[in-house]
Structure 1
């Protein structure tokens, strides 16, 4: 979700073939106004109540001598759209000042409730602006686990067996479960959404499922069956940082935004995306789930089928996939657990 918001801000500032390619990458239909749709989503994702909280924030960090420069700076129409549709804060900064990167890191930490405090490098002398998005989510289990549900057993990683991993065991009636020839999936409800656990069949890896572009949408719109669920899932807490351009090299994102992209709806000068980085945090225990993520885009100057089931056992003691969805079914966080004890 964080990456989608950040790329949508970039799409709003693009034109021509670059805009068309970004819209295809974002799976936006010709009639979809991405900014207006995300504006509605922003309102839905901003709340805090007992046992549940969700927040999203956007910010633009702009080289100070680009602001107010008619014909040689940032386009006012794009800035207006960022303010009114993306609710983005726009700040004119001096990237050569060492205090700027600290200020940016502090902003991320504040928006993610202290869960992420990134080391931000804005030393590129050609840096023009940085687009940022943060997402924060916290929810208690609708049916919490108890201390008596805790056990320690082995987890069978790809290359090693990890002993004494703490697990949560639960027995729930009438839970949503999906069986296919590739995986077994189950949903556990949260106070403001749900968490989906996907265990690939033996011989398949979690990344094999994610490599299918339609996997997440197929999972969302599949006809889930109801079943008596006995689940065993590991407690975990970890952080992850990803070079998005490298990770999505096979999807052609770098070809769209690097080299000579058309960012003329955003800037009066030629520019390209130099880096897209993302950092995430997630923790799961007997009380619930807490997750946070941030995405940073730096721009520099250039030239399954329904099944009826009675009872399902799901023991997540080898690498598995998780998806955190809010009440509207939006996939806020997606990840793979390969080692529950890794931080």
Structure 2
């Protein structure tokens, strides 16, 4: 497949700059307004038309030759975090997680507590934090959210003093990302899931704008704000979208085929297989244009694709990932995966429609797809 945009280079410096900027903005699920503003400012700079849902999910638009059988690319702006569950009489805060992550990675985390009109710095600590006091109990105490507490960096000795600061039950806690960009291409930080995916999408959009991409069909670039709690892309799609590619992390761990290099194309996650035709189209694009890739299947994973399907969208979905080590903890990725992924996203946006029947949401059997049923001669 020859595409006019195939040789358009991804600006790696731009991608890295955007990732650094995004990591500097606190955006746990439920506290995403400011990162929405930041992305909208960047879309304005790139010249993209866009609109927002009531709560702030963003739908940007590249106009194509036809609005029918449109395609979408999606990444999420929200991250993991925590929320104040209880103010203890000793002035410490009990917290519960926003999203699914282990308290093991919360222990020792620097953070900010956002009240209605204030922000206070603090640290999440195990209940028994001092070896000089608790000796070996520091190592033998259980791990879990009931076994940590948040210490505010202010003079508070009781619950009343905490409330006097403006801190209350339900306040949002943002965990410091602590990013490091290393000279060898590695990036270590919290919240690379999915701010790295957002940076990838912005880099693909920057390249598309620079190349003045004129796709065959409309392309919608979606930025969701509640993926970490499961609702993600459930309310930002338009009816004309026929296929959607999600950008998110792919776990590099024993038993997984993901890699911190190249693109990891997910064939299935815990919600089931991704669309047979769309995933194989992405594989073909990667092969034909020399984008390094591998395939993987994820057992304990769901993404914006799942929320779109569960909301009733009749669309083809796929998942493209950057390999990430220690997901939902102190995460590590490599620039090679991010630039490879941005290239493949750009190629997908520019690629022609292959299933003409998808131009209509409902149609007869004529033009419906086929899947191979016959064994090859060597297998018979």
> Counting helix residues as a fraction of each chain, which structure ranks higher?
2
More strand by share: 1
TM-score class, shorter-chain normalisation, is under 0.3
The alignment's TM-score, normalised by the length of structure 1, stands at: 0.24
Give 1 or 2 for the bigger CA radius of gyration. 2
Structure 2 length normalisation: TM-score?
Answer: 0.22
